């Protein structure tokens, strides 16, 4: 199924927002007995590291790639490249395995998942902003023609 180029940004928004929301929810549900200034600061640190070094760059890279397409319609899964899908698969498998095995203590799940989930959710929202900008630019162009 082919979609318009800018719809790829919307799909990235929906996928990453859903993943981020779910991971953030898991982290917050585990936080109960672990609320402390120190743990919240650690969650903020996890958020900042993932946003600065991984997801912020991912949003910029994939938005630029999508905008550079010359054809208007593309296969709906082209919102990411193979490397991004591999990263997503490894993260999902690792996260599920970590929780299912019981290796990671609940405090780790609370702190790490809250920071990671918030960063993923922000990445999804940034894709949504880029989609909105693209739609606005198209509308502005149409109005001037």
CA distances from 120 to 22, 107, 117 (A): 10, 20, 5
CA distance 28 to 22: 10
As a whole number, mean pLDDT of residues 120-133 equals 96
Beta bridge partners of 73: 4
- The mean predicted confidence, pLDDT, of the chain is 92
Rounded percentage of the chain residues whose pLDDT exceeds 90: 71
Condensed to tens digits (0 to 9), the pLDDT of residues 47-65 reads 999 999 999 999 999 999 9
What is the pTM (predicted TM-score) of this model?
Answer: 0.90
**Residue 74 has what DSSP assignment?**
E
Q: Does the pLDDT of residue 143 top 80, yes or no?
A: no
Q: pLDDT grade, residue 118 (50/70/90)?
A: very high
Rounded CA separation 22/95 (Å): 12
């Amino acid at each position: 199924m082919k979609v318009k180029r800018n719809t790829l940004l919307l799909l990235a928004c929906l996928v990453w927002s859903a993943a981020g929301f779910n991971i953030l929810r898991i982290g917050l549900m585990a936080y109960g007995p672990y609320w402390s200034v120190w743990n919240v600061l650690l969650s903020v640190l996890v958020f900042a590291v993932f946003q600065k070094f991984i997801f912020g760059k991912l949003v910029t890279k994939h938005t630029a790639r999508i905008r550079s397409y010359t054809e208007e319609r593309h296969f709906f899964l082209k919102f990411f490249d193979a490397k991004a899908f591999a990263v997503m698969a490894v993260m999902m498998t690792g996260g599920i395995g970590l929780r299912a095995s019981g290796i990671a203590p609940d405090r780790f799940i609370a702190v790490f998942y809250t920071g990671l989930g918030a960063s993923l959710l922000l990445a999804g929202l940034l894709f949504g902003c880029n989609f909105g900008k693209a739609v606005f630019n198209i509308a502005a162009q149409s109005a001037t023609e």
